[in-house]
Amino acid sequence: MDPSPIRHDWTQREVLQLFQQPFSDLLHQAQATHRAHFDPNRVQVSTLLSIKTGACPEDCKYCPQSIRYDTGLEREQVMAVEEVVDAARRARAAGATRFCMGAAWRSPKDKDLQTVEAMVREVKALGMETCLTLGMLRDGQAERLRDAGLDYYNHNLDTSEAYYDEIITTRSYQDRLDTLEKVRDAGLKTCCGGIIGMGEAREDRVALLRTLATLPVHPQSVPINQLVQVPGTPLHGIEPPDPFEFVRTIAVARLLMPGSYVRLSAGREQMSDELQALCFLAGANSIFYGDKLLTTGNPEADADRQLLDRLGMGFEERACAQTQCETNDPA
């Protein structure tokens, strides 16, 4: 019997209770749920590319790309379509099934969207899944991207609504929810998660996961990032999270959104192999693959292949091959 049917009515108290269980009980439950919905030994692999880097007008306190913080990052204009397609080809040859293109924008201009549409069309033509993260979308933009062949749009909630103002002041939580709605309404899959280790309390992690799990449709992909601390950003030097609390967050995400891919996202370079293995045990089944995230480092591809090999795990060849990923038509 499925130990955890898909629900959208989680309460803060219920989610907190999941978090508070003894570690072994939580992991056992999360692993049982994981096995009911996925092959536990397969991970989905996505490769990231920054198609427009730095000089972002927003003030996200974690982000090396904000123009407000001196992080020494060189700004770069929008990449040429051919260069992007070459990078996607290399990612495909290395085994990635999804190519995620990110831009340091508050929101894309219609003129920029034309270039991005060409990127999506050509990456899709390689037989890869496509994902974009470009900031807030205006009416009609999600439809244009869908028509170009976009599969996923990434837009994170980042943290709880209550803690949000400590982290970003240049756009609201509601702005983010509105963009997510536009993405869903266009029939795109959503990739939406947050960042752990920004000084938030457990109740904020609970609230973030609850918000994700009570959206009209669970995000099909849920990236759980650990803050990558970059010198010059306001959050540099903050106390890193307890690794077991990070694993708990993954496990609770798995329990709340049983049919979604939970991505062990940014921060892996700072994690031991053992901690990553615990995250997989807790139900993470997706990673970013390739030696760079957007502007910061990620483990070398060889190291990742070796790690998965040591764990008897491997790449999933086709995403959503075996899951009950939700569609955008709420039940």
Q: Are 206 and 177 in contact (CB under 8 A)?
A: no
Residue in 303, 296, 238 with CA at minimum distance from that of residue 267: 296
| Residue 288 β-bridge partners | 46
Report the interface residues with ligand DTB, using CB under 6 A: 48, 64, 102, 133, 154, 156, 193, 223, 225, 228, 265-266, 293-296
Tell me: does residue 223 bind ligand SF4 (CB under 6 A): no
Q: Are 138 and 175 in contact (CB under 8 A)?
A: no
Q: Is 100 one of the annotated binding-site residues?
A: yes
Binding to ligand SF4 in span 58-87, by CB under 6 A:
58, 60, 63, 65-66
Least distance from ligand SF4 to the Cβ atom of residue 136, Å: 9
Tell me: does residue 195 bind ligand SAM (CB under 6 A): yes
Q: Is 320 one of the annotated binding-site residues?
A: no
Give yes or no: 60 in active site.
yes
The nearer residue to ligand SAM, 26 or 88, going by C-beta atoms, is 88
How far apart CA 126 and CA 138 sit, in angstroms, is: 28
Q: Is 279 one of the annotated binding-site residues?
A: no
Q: Are 156 and 202 in contact (CB under 8 A)?
A: no
Q: Of 98, 176, 184, 191, which is the active-site residue?
A: 191
Tell me: does residue 259 bind ligand SAM (CB under 6 A): no
Cβ neighbours for 56, distance < 8 A, ≥ 6 positions apart: 63, 65, 66, 67, 104, 105, 106
How far apart CA 190 and CA 183 sit, in angstroms, is: 7
How far apart CA 159 and CA 192 sit, in angstroms, is: 11
Q: Give the range of 23-31, 102-110, 212-220, 320-328 binding ligand SAM by CB under 6 A.
A: 102-110
Residues classed as catalytic: 56, 60, 63, 100, 131, 191, 263
Binding site as annotated, residues: 56, 60, 63, 100, 131, 191, 263
